[in-house]
A and B are shown apart, each in its own frame.
Chain A
Amino acid sequence: MVRVEDIRKSFGDTEVLKGISLTFEKGKTNLIIGRSGAGKTVLLKTLVGLITPTSGTVWYDDINFTQLDKKSLREVRMNIGMLFQGSALFDSLTVEENIRFPMDMFKKMTLAEKRKRVDYCLEVVGLEGINDKFPSEISGGMQKRVGIARAIVLDPDYLFCDEPNSGLDPKTSLLIDDLILDITRTNKTTTIINTHDMNSVMGIGENIALLHKGKMAWQGHKEEIIDSDNELLQSFIFASPFLKELKEKAYGHK
């Protein structure tokens, strides 16, 4: 479980996060949604300590994450996996070396053991046999999946994904969503996903937080979206006239 308490963050004079309190639950897919510029990425980066909040606290179970010194911070981070918006695979390393990197750095394992683990993780993301390819030689969707494989290689308790679907076709998007959901269920991870993809929201949104201009605008389960009368939520989810019309036809109300 990850919990934030009254997080605020300003860059210069502009306050980007204006007092956010939230709980992200273990074994569930927790979504942060919101319009472009709402502060999703800033919130996610604050959660993992890449950005220091101006005030407020981040809790990892009962560890006060905001107050950790560098050394303890790194220890907690060994337990965090993160998928970046641009995958952030290291260009000079092959797919296998990328996935092996955290093990090479931190684990005392034999090469054979590491290889086995790499093969297992590649199998989880459905990409067996591309071990020796370089990131530049595989497609964006495959890079995302390799990014996921690298994020889960040390079996983290916390999984963060920044826009896992951006730039992907709807089919590949669904595949990535299923993958993340699967990992969350099997490994009981606290998964936090930052997205503005409506398919993801309606597909895997178990605990959704809508961010609007740095404030919490709505929180709930995907099932609660249709019946919610929250204006911001409705205009965000059913943004296009087509969807609005569809919804009116299906449910008979606005």
Chain B
Amino acid sequence: MLWRLPYHFGRYLMMLWQAFSRPENYRMYWKETVRQMYDIGIGSIVIVALISIFIGAVSGLQFVYQLDGQLIPMYYIGYIVRDLAIIELSPTFTNLVLAGKVGSNMTSEIGGMRQKEHIDAMEIMGLNTAAYLVLPRTIAALAVIPLLVAVSAMLAIIGGYVATVLPGELSHSDYVRGLLTFYNPYNVKMMFIKSYVFAFILTTVSCYQGYYVKSGSVALGKASTQAVVYSNILILLADYLLVVLLTSD
């Protein structure tokens, strides 16, 4: 597997090189972009919301448990949940989940088109298929996924509230006070930078897996799995690198 890595990386770069060129027809590309935006956004909002609320709730409860009987004031919980969601949990979790949902879906859609000779048919028409298939998806993902992440962070904070304040572990005013403590807009910027990078990784890696799929349904299934696995590994790797880069001064 590993010795094939440079080959795949080179081919991936070449696909991107072809994909990021001038569209033959802006209207057709735009139409496809809107369709993808709709698919990614509407199709994922429920699962993202569900996960985010639970992430916030669980983090809130765990910190109540952890801080109990310590010298750290309880209102810190609002602050911890907020920053945990904004900086790490929302961008990373959302994108890991979207890699499984949106990414594998892109792989099987494009892979199916490759196997049923749809891509060949487009090539014969004179279309730049790498561009037509990859560009609208990437743009749609870059437009929608950061919004989903922002929604996710908000819902996580609400989830934390629901899990800690409602059962009476913490007072309403403490949680809100925590939310307003040590607020740093730079963290939100970091959240968006992460979202853009992760969204780019998961779409392009998934498109790559679909675009170069071999024939047969076994290969298609394998490609979808690989899209998720590679996206996830690369997202986590990028997460680490971004944190190192963005938090060093």
Closest residue of A by beta carbon distance from B118:
A88
The CB with the most chain A CB atoms within 10 A, among B18, B118, B123, B126, is that of: B126
The one of A74, A88, A104, A105 in contact with B121, judged by C-beta atoms closer than 8 angstroms, is A88
What are the interface flags for A143-164 relative to B under an 8 Å C-beta threshold, 1 for contact and 0 otherwise? 0000000000010000010000
A106 near B126 (CB under 8 angstroms)?
yes
A105 in complex: contacting residue of B25, B113, B117, CB < 8 Å: B25
Tally of chain B residues near chain A (CB < 8 A): 17
**Chain B neighbourhood of A106, CB < 8 A:** 24-25, 125-126
Contacts of B169 in A (CB 8 A): none
Write the A93-116 contact mask toward B (1 if CB under 8 angstroms, else 0): 000000001101110000000000
Stretch at the interface among A8-16, A31-39, A76-84: A76-84
Closest Cβ of chain B: how far from A83's Cβ, in Å?
A: 9
How far apart sit A110 and B117, CA to CA, in the bound complex (Å)? 29
Q: Is the CB of A105 within 8 A of B124?
A: no
Chain B binding surface, main DSSP class: helix
Q: How far is the CA of A123 from the CA of B223 in the complex (A)?
A: 41
Please measure, in the bound complex, the distance between the C-alpha atom of A145 and the C-alpha atom of B127, giving whole angstroms: 22
Interface presence of A62 (CB below 8 A): no
The complex places the Cα of A160 from the Cα of B117 at a distance, in Å, of 14
Return chain B residues, CB-CB under 8 Å to A74: 126-128
B28 in the interface (beta carbon within 8 A): yes
| Residue A223 CB within 8 A of the other chain | no
Instruction: List residues of chain B with CB within 8 A of the CB of A85.
Output: 117
C-alpha spacing A82/B119, complex, angstroms: 12
B8 at the interface (CB under 8 A from A): no
Contact across chains for B120 and A105 when beta carbons are under 8 A apart? no
Task: Select B124's contact among A70, A75, A77, beta carbons within 8 Å.
Answer: A77
Closest chain A residue to B132, Cβ basis: A105
Q: Contacts of A102 on B, CB cut-off 8 Å?
A: 125
Q: A86 contacts which chain B residues (CB < 8 A)?
A: 116-117
Q: Is A48 an interface residue (CB 8 A)?
A: yes
Contact with B along A161-194 (1 / 0, CB 8 A): 0000000000000000000000000000000000
Complex Cα spacing A105 to B32, Å: 12
A74-B127, A78-B126 given; 18 more Cβ-contact pairs under 8 Å: A49-B123, A50-B123, A70-B128, A77-B125, A77-B126, A80-B124, A81-B124, A84-B117, A86-B117, A88-B117, A88-B118, A90-B113, A90-B118, A90-B121, A105-B127, A106-B24, A106-B25, A154-B125
